Structure 1
Amino acid sequence: MGLLGASGAIVGTVAGLGEFLGYGMRLISGKITDKTKIYWPITFMGYASNLIVVPLLALAHRWEIAALLIILERVGKGIRTPARDAMLSYATKEIGRGWGFGIHQAMDRLGALVGPLIVFCLLGSTNNLRISFVVLGIPAVFALAALGFAKKVNPYPQAAEEQKVTFSAEGFSKAFWIFIAGAGFLAAGFVDFALIAFHFQKKAVLPPAWIPLFYTFAMGAAALFSLAGGKLFDFFSKPVVLTALVLGMLSVPCVFMGGFSTVLIGMILWGIGLGMQGSVLRSIVAHLAAPEKRSVAYGTFGVVFGLCWFIGSALTGWLYDHSIALMVAISLFLQLCSIPFFLNLKMEKSS
């Protein structure tokens, strides 16, 4: 959006709003999924939106249009995520949820790694960002085809884990809400890549064509941590969470206050933090929520995480326009606030 004239505050606000609406949609989608058990149709609907929205970014000539499409893409992700994560939680019970979610997150990040590489190559040869967005619609078609095959193989994913016949009237456990509070502070302090890319462009930290390449490095780090961290989480849950949290925090000063080499290190650390969110945090939800409440639990987690992400993104975007040093300090403070909650978290498996 920066190329279309948006300011740092606008970039941060749009990124945060997109995440908030996307995560908010997860609660609605989660409730519908738990009630109807139509896991596959809801998942299909969410993935299909990407197939439509991403290529349309190539037609955006105003930052307002680009912002709307970015938000719609996030909403589509919000629709599919609770159903998808619930299916993953059922399927990974036997192999270990950290490992199972880690594999999924690694595959997701590998896809996110290939995408920027394609953009990098296309920008180098055509210098046209719009062509890149059109080409990125092709993998979405293959994703839908793979999803259709998975449905044929396993049409009733909930059968993998025994569930109660009726819903409990009780809410979630105290441990679940402690986790939610910690995740909220983490989300508020974690800087969105939209603002990072805006910083790279505005301050000429990197040539424009190198920005997707550095994002690729971050996705590679996220994929590797998702596998290693997810596997280790099944044996050493709390140390893995805290280590990833601290490494992710260190990315902020590296990315916004460093030179070329320091920025590269910062993006790798940022990727580790992102990988932790996608694998370890989702595994914790599965441990703390009973099977019959799993989709709603993911939706609740999504709403709080998204709201805090939105507030944090808007705040960091506004602070960036006034003082980068203050923005870095506030980001670090918010993430530090999450540590006591994770330290006090007691992991209890639900069944």
Structure 2
Amino acid sequence: MSQVSTDPVDPATPGLSARPAPAWSAWRAVVGFGMVSLAADMVYEGARSVTGPLLGALGASALVVGLVTGAGEGMSLLLRLAFGPLADRTGRYWSLTLSGYALTAVCVPLLAVAPFLGGAGLAVAAALILAERAGKAVRSPAKSALLAQAAGAVGRGRGFAVHKALDQLGAFAGPLLVAAVIAATGLVWPALAGLAIPGAAAIGLLLWIRRRVPDPAVFDTGTPPAAPALAGSDTGTPPAAPAPATTAPPTPRSGWFGADLPRRFFLFAAAAGAATAGLVTFGIISFHASQTGVLAAAAIPLLYAAAMVAAAMAALASGYLYDRWHARVLFALPVLGAAVPALALSTTAGAIVAGTLLWGPPSECRTRPSRRSWPTWFPPPAGPPPTASSPPSRALRHWPAEAWPGPCTPARCPS
């Protein structure tokens, strides 16, 4: 397979010239990607904070709200299995990143016109919500690859930390902006229309980064190989013996997806799914709060922002507790998950607030301790690490223990 333009080029390789120096430093590129995520998170997290009330106002039932929001979250995850390998095969990392962000920047503000479409408004709003979540799946793998290359020169731990911190700031600021507009106007649609401003900012910033750093791989130089000893040198050190050939990794068994994974992986996956199956989307919680009239319209986005803060604090605590108690912290997930619907779907304001604050931590932390458990329970196979286009089953088994060093904080765990 031929190399794509975004693959790093070794300047020492005969016949290949070194890439020109970028106009920006690596840190500036990393911060630029972080600012893009900040603006984009303001858009889609702001919209998610009022998805339930919006669909309810358009005539949706709780079942429809659950189906639309649940299907959207599923699409944003499952479609990455297709768009990650697509980015690797085509090398169109920038195109996929821009396309995904464009879907978010366009679909969310268009939700503002749904209340004016009469009977078609509900169908249009549902389609726009699903399209926005599909955009998340389109851009995430490609953007992560670009960011990882840019962060290679500054340290991927620090680079992703800065990026995630800015990302979390946008996730908190978006609902606050929506709440302020609803409080001022008493309507949801002006708040959604106003999200066009950070959406346009995200696209503009991304185009600017692409122009200044068209190939972030120039930062990802890696570790240079040791120079071979020259003939006739006076060092007196004999040339090193050639490294022995490594055994190729075993070829995964053919058949259905994940056929080469151990049985305990599927038991673990089933347990993780069952532990969080009771978690409802915030769309259901916000729909219930608005339909019952327990909370004011402007208070619902504020409640979502508070849940994001609770999730961030829980991520800090889960990383610390995992280092002490290891996978035993996972037993807390079904307990928290069982309490969420009982409280969040009640008819008192205090219980709804408490249930939403409990909803945030399991929603954020259900993947953090689980990821840490993989290296212990599923040792990596022999052979080189997989890439985004490797078979998903091998990528799961090759999870590196050092990939998530230290406590898992909102600023250190890339999503």
Q: Deviations over 1:125-146 (max 9, x none)?
A: 1112111112112223333455
User: What RMSD in Å do the two structures reach over aligned CA positions?
Assistant: 4.3
User: Hey, what's the Cα distance between the residues in 2 that align with 1:148 and 1:161?
Assistant: 26
The count of aligned residue pairs is 305
For residues 63-93 of structure 1, what are the alpha-carbon distances to aligned partners after superposition, in whole Å with 9 as ceiling and x for unaligned? 111101001001101112233456677869x
Q: Which stretch of structure 1 is more off in the superposition, 185-194 or 261-270?
A: 185-194
Contact 2:108 2:195 in 1 (8 A): yes
Q: When the two structures are superposed, what TM-score results if normalisation uses the length of structure 1?
A: 0.70
Report the TM-score when normalising by structure 2. 0.60
Question: Percent of counterpart pairs with the same letter?
Answer: 34
Deviations 1:256-310 (A, max 9, x none): 2362222222111111112214655566679967742446677999xxxxxxxxx
Deviation at 1:236, TM superposition (A): 5.5
Matching residue of 2:401: 349
> Would you say the 8 A contact 2:275–2:333 is kept in 1?
no
Change in CA separation of 1:111 and 1:149 when aligned onto 2, cut-off 3 Å: same
Alpha carbons of structure 1 residues 281 and 229: separation in structure 2 relative to 1, 3 Å: same
Separation in structure 2 between the aligned mates of residue 52 and residue 135 of structure 1, nearest angstrom: 12
Q: How far is 1:29 from its partner?
A: 0.5
Find out whether 1:130 has 2:183 as its counterpart: no
**Which residue, out of 65, 80, 89, partners 2:124?**
65
* Unpaired runs of at least 5, structure 2: 1-54, 116-120, 224-245, 253-257, 404-415
Q: Helix, strand or coil: the match of 2:277?
A: helix
Rounded Cα–Cα distance in structure 1 between residues aligned with 2:156 and 2:221: 14
Aligned position for 1:155? 216
Consecutive unaligned residues of structure 1, counting only runs of 5 or more, are 302-344
| Paired position in structure 1 for 2:270 | 181
Matched letter for residue 76 of structure 1? G
For residue 198 of structure 1, report the CA deviation from its aligned partner. 1.3
Q: Aligned with 2:401: secondary structure?
A: coil
Counterpart of 2:174 in structure 1 is: 115
Distance, in Å, in 2 between the alignment partners of 1:6 and 1:136 is 23
Residues 55 and 136, structure 1, Cα contact 8 Å, conserved in 2 = yes
Q: Which of 1 and 2 has greater Rg?
A: 2
Higher helix share: 1
Letter of the 1:65 counterpart: V
User: More displaced, 139-148 or 81-90?
Assistant: 81-90
Query: How do 1:1-351 residues align onto structure 2 when only pairs under 5 Å count?
Result: 1-61=55-115, 62-85=121-144, 107-147=166-206, 152=213, 155-156=216-217, 159=220, 169-170=251-252, 173-174=261-262, 176-186=265-275, 188-230=277-319, 233=322, 237-244=326-333, 246-257=335-346, 259-277=348-366, 279-280=368-369, 291-294=385-388, 349=401
State the shift of 1:40 in Å. Answer: 4.0
Residue-by-residue CA offset, 1:162-198 (whole Å, 9 max, x unaligned): 9x9x997426643654443334334533211111111
SS of the equivalent of 1:206 reads coil
Q: Once the 2 structures are TM-superposed, how far is the Cα of residue 19 of structure 1 from its aligned partner? A: 2.4
Mapped to 2, the partners of 1:242 and 1:299 lie a distance apart of 26
The CA deviation at 1:21 is 2.9
Relative contact order: is structure 1 or structure 2 higher (C-alpha 8 Å, sep ≥ 6)? Answer: 1
